[in-house]
Structure 1
Amino acid sequence: MSWRGLTWDHPRGYNALAAADGPVHWEVQPLEGFESAPIAELCAEYDLVVLDHPHLGEALARDCLAPLDEVFAAADLDRIARAAIGPAYASYAMAGRQWALPLDAATQVMALRPDLAGPPPATWEDVDRLSQRGGVALSLAGPHAALSFLSVCAALDPALDLRDGGWPEDDTARRAYEILAPLAARTPASTKTLNPIGLLDLMGRTDELCLIPLVYGYVNYTRAPRPVAFHDAPRAGGRPGSILGGTGICISRRARVDDALRAHLMWLMADETQRGFIPDHDGQPGLRSAWADPAVNAAWGNFYADTAATLEAAAIRPRHDGYIAFQTRASAYLREAFEARTPAPDAIRGLRAMFEASQPERTTA
């Protein structure tokens, strides 16, 4: 028996799954589809779907995923929960159940060309000073303006918890906006439509960019023609602020799971697979043991060791049904606000209103 799976079309998202020679036939969608495609439609077509944790609210509202406690033994899920790095496993827990296996772990970190930027800046003040020389770009395209904003909020407020309808206090939001606004103004216009893959590809092929202070980390670019180095996100308070990314494997309601599929998925999450097969095939593992492994780090420019602290401290995004649409609208709103030099109090008032309107219980007919 074979199953149909959907992942995203980048070596990090596809190569290891395709090379695993398992019972799943994997197809791909672009990064933009991965970030915003309606999850219920995908689950109607595929047995397994690789997704990001903010889609959970939408998926649960449409009852299109199988809870993993109905598929795997509790001992297997407990092992993975203990072994996963940072909140990679916890981000897929909602409504008292687990909905995905954390195959891939990622968060926003700092990307730079050491030959152009010098030592990595430690704080947002350091980033601002470096940006005045040019060649510093924020990640603003698609949903990433909002994600950059929330990351700086998380740096300013280490207690910030967004997962169950939380939102930054107005003072925190104002300070985050004021940190990002001048950086957005200095971001090269040619980069403002590039997603993280496009930004990192540009940095790895040309000398146009020396620093991207917040971008989802892709280990693959440590081997770019002009190697990119990755470091912990800038600090503005007690922790390197970052919003969790990464991907989990979900099982749709349409799937008919048997022992072969269970065994294959447990093999993908096994310690030896995560420290060997996954990084050997361009993947970015979800277990802490892989991120701490000296051989894995030696092979990939110390990517994992140099960014693990950010991942351990990463904040989980809101996951309510309606958040994905809010994330898209909020990013467009922020791009316009940065361009128009909208005063911070006005900008954050608008963002809060949009977020509150996105909550299902507050939506009016």
Structure 2
Amino acid sequence: MARYVGLTWDHPRGRLALERAAEQATDAAGERLIEWHVHSLEGFESSPIEELAERYDVIVLDHPHLGDALAGDAIRPLDEVFEASFLDEVRAGAVGPSTASYTLDGRFWALPLDAATQVAVRVPELVPDAPTTWGEVRELAATAPVALSLAGPHAFLSFASTCVALGAEAGIVPATEPGAGLVDRAVGAEAFALMAELAARMPEGAADLNPIGLLERMRRDRDIAYIPLVYGYVNYASGPGALRFDDAPAATAGGRRGSTIGGTGIAITTRCRPDADLVAHLAGLLDPEVQRTFIPGHAGQPGLRSAWIDDAVNAASGAFYRATLETIDDAWVRPRVPRYIRFQSEASAILRDALLAPGAARADAALDDLDRAFDALARERSVL
């Protein structure tokens, strides 16, 4: 029996590198240091972090869980556990806004093990050249099967990313603090109209698939030619049926790539009493050489920029990292407020129902519902 128990998500990218590293890790007495349990992608996206923290010592989480985690005193700030010099190196080395996403209330809460954001993906023989703007995406959808990622929380995430791109010229992004609505109404209406247009032409059944399901179907069936926004999985960028990943579309050529950062961080729960062996093991996962070799060598997706720009890492991944680097650097960081995860699920249901409904007269009602649901978080926060 291992001394510590960790929880990650059930996909090779989420579990394999952690499991292989754990096989090599022992404590001072020669016993197994940590074992990893897994839950589904849907569990990773929506399970209450406070409940998980009662059962696990180490949790792989997404940054929007921080609001609930801090409100429930579920995880430890990293400066209680790791040397300041190590944390400074991680902060400086992480790709995109990964460091910012795990920093809240002036403290750093999770090690950015894995970096990901929504990017574009295509079947190369069907779409030889990737669209660079949303106008080009519209043109492509007239002649090729284009899908959106709408299942689970992804309808909201796709909407937020589209808003980031369309509002870039005016400096408009979705709000991260509730109380004054979610997004500028004109930008929100434009994003909704664009998504509704694309949703009306989606291949049958695509709206029900999570990102892994969409990418599996693209690789296997080739009946989805292009997705403008889906969380990037390097596992689909090489091997038989390899897909091509590209930067997400901008509103205009040279504009900001609209995307919402995801990825995963390693957090230590307050129930955990980490010893020097565990601290060294977790720190080792963020070692630049481990990130460059061991993590991608075991189906992982590194969190350090040095790995993302490495020649060997890109050669082995169909240039997945360099082809999407601009997008992750531009990515938007979601709210980290209590009850946000619940809002994200509610907002996605609102958008999915409206986008897939017959007709096109649902935008105002859907945007009103989004504002109400988001601003309700401010009222709930005041009574926590």
The TM-score bracket by the shorter chain reads over 0.9
**Quick one: distance in 2 between partners of 1:50 and 1:163?**
22
**Quick one: distance in 2 between partners of 1:205 and 1:250?**
35
Q: Which residue of 1 aligns with 2:331?
A: 314
Following superposition, the deviation at residue 93 of structure 1 comes to 0.8
- Is 1:350 aligned with 2:373? no
Aligned residues: percent identity? 52
* 1:216-235 Cα shifts (integer Å, max 9, x gaps): 00000012531111000011
**Quick one: distance in 2 between partners of 1:269 and 1:161?**
31
Structure 1 segment 247-326 matched on structure 2, within 5 A: 247-326=264-343
Q: Which residue of 2 aligns with 1:184?
A: 199
Q: Which residue of 1 aligns with 2:30?
A: none
CA contact (8 A) 2:6 2:56 kept: yes
CA contact (8 A) 2:45 2:62 kept: yes
Following superposition, the deviation at residue 113 of structure 1 comes to 0.7
CA contact (8 A) 1:117 1:210 kept: yes
**Quick one: distance in 1 between partners of 2:310 and 2:370?**
41
* Aligned equivalent of 1:76, options 52, 68, 86: 86
Following superposition, the deviation at residue 362 of structure 1 comes to 6.6
Aligned residues: 365
Structure 1 segment 189-268 matched on structure 2, within 5 A: 189-237=204-252, 238-268=255-285
Following superposition, the deviation at residue 305 of structure 1 comes to 0.2
Give the match's secondary structure for 1:284.
Answer: coil
- Is 1:103 aligned with 2:122? no
Output the TM-score relative to the length of structure 1. Answer: 0.96
CA contact (8 A) 1:162 1:316 kept: no
Following superposition, the deviation at residue 134 of structure 1 comes to 3.6
Q: Which residue of 2 aligns with 1:54?
A: 64
CA contact (8 A) 1:321 1:359 kept: no
Following superposition, the deviation at residue 314 of structure 1 comes to 0.3
**What code does the residue aligned with 2:365 have?**
D
Give the match's secondary structure for 1:5.
Answer: strand
CA contact (8 A) 1:68 1:98 kept: yes
Q: Which residue of 2 aligns with 1:168?
A: 183
**Runs of 5+ in structure 1 lacking a partner?**
none
**Quick one: distance in 1 between partners of 2:304 and 2:185?**
35
Following superposition, the deviation at residue 270 of structure 1 comes to 0.7
Give the match's secondary structure for 2:121.
Answer: strand
CA contact (8 A) 2:203 2:223 kept: no
* Aligned equivalent of 2:349, options 318, 332, 344: 332
* 1:47-90 Cα shifts (integer Å, max 9, x gaps): 00000000110111111101111001111111100000011111
CA contact (8 A) 2:13 2:235 kept: yes
* 1:236-284 Cα shifts (integer Å, max 9, x gaps): 1420100010000000011111111111111100110101100011100
Give the match's secondary structure for 2:73.
Answer: coil
CA contact (8 A) 2:163 2:174 kept: no
Following superposition, the deviation at residue 15 of structure 1 comes to 0.6
**Quick one: distance in 1 between partners of 2:311 and 2:39?**
33
Give the match's secondary structure for 1:359.
Answer: helix
Q: Which residue of 1 aligns with 2:138?
A: 128
Give the match's secondary structure for 1:50.
Answer: strand
Give the match's secondary structure for 2:125.
Answer: helix
Q: Which residue of 2 aligns with 1:155?
A: 165
Following superposition, the deviation at residue 360 of structure 1 comes to 4.4
**Quick one: distance in 2 between partners of 1:364 and 1:240?**
37
**What code does the residue aligned with 1:260 have?**
D
* 1:17-70 Cα shifts (integer Å, max 9, x gaps): 011122220111000000000101111110000000001101111111011110
- Is 1:93 aligned with 2:112? no
Residues 73 and 364 (structure 1 numbering): CA distance in 2 closer, same or farther, change over 3 Å? closer
Give the match's secondary structure for 2:60.
Answer: strand
Following superposition, the deviation at residue 351 of structure 1 comes to 1.4
Q: Which residue of 2 aligns with 1:44?
A: 54
CA contact (8 A) 1:109 1:231 kept: yes
**What code does the residue aligned with 1:172 have?**
V
**Quick one: distance in 1 between partners of 2:361 and 2:113?**
40
Q: CA RMSD for the aligned pairs?
A: 1.6
- Farther-moved stretch of structure 1 (200-209 vs 332-341): 332-341
| Structure 1 consecutive aligned stretches of length 4 or more whose deviation exceeds 4 Å | 360-365
- Farther-moved stretch of structure 1 (347-356 vs 259-268): 347-356
**Quick one: distance in 1 between partners of 2:382 and 2:239?**
46
Following superposition, the deviation at residue 118 of structure 1 comes to 2.0
Q: Which residue of 2 aligns with 1:116?
A: 126
**Quick one: distance in 2 between partners of 1:137 and 1:217?**
15
CA contact (8 A) 1:322 1:360 kept: no
* 1:290-323 Cα shifts (integer Å, max 9, x gaps): 0000100000000000001100110000111111
CA contact (8 A) 1:15 1:282 kept: yes
* 1:90-144 Cα shifts (integer Å, max 9, x gaps): 1011112111000000000001011011200111111111112242110000000
Q: Which residue of 2 aligns with 1:16?
A: 17
- Farther-moved stretch of structure 1 (157-166 vs 228-237): 157-166
- Farther-moved stretch of structure 1 (165-174 vs 230-239): 165-174
Q: Which residue of 2 aligns with 1:6?
A: 7
Q: Which residue of 1 aligns with 2:28?
A: none
**Runs of 5+ in structure 2 lacking a partner?**
26-32
CA contact (8 A) 2:182 2:370 kept: no
**Quick one: distance in 2 between partners of 1:41 and 1:87?**
27
CA contact (8 A) 2:258 2:327 kept: yes
Give the match's secondary structure for 1:115.
Answer: coil
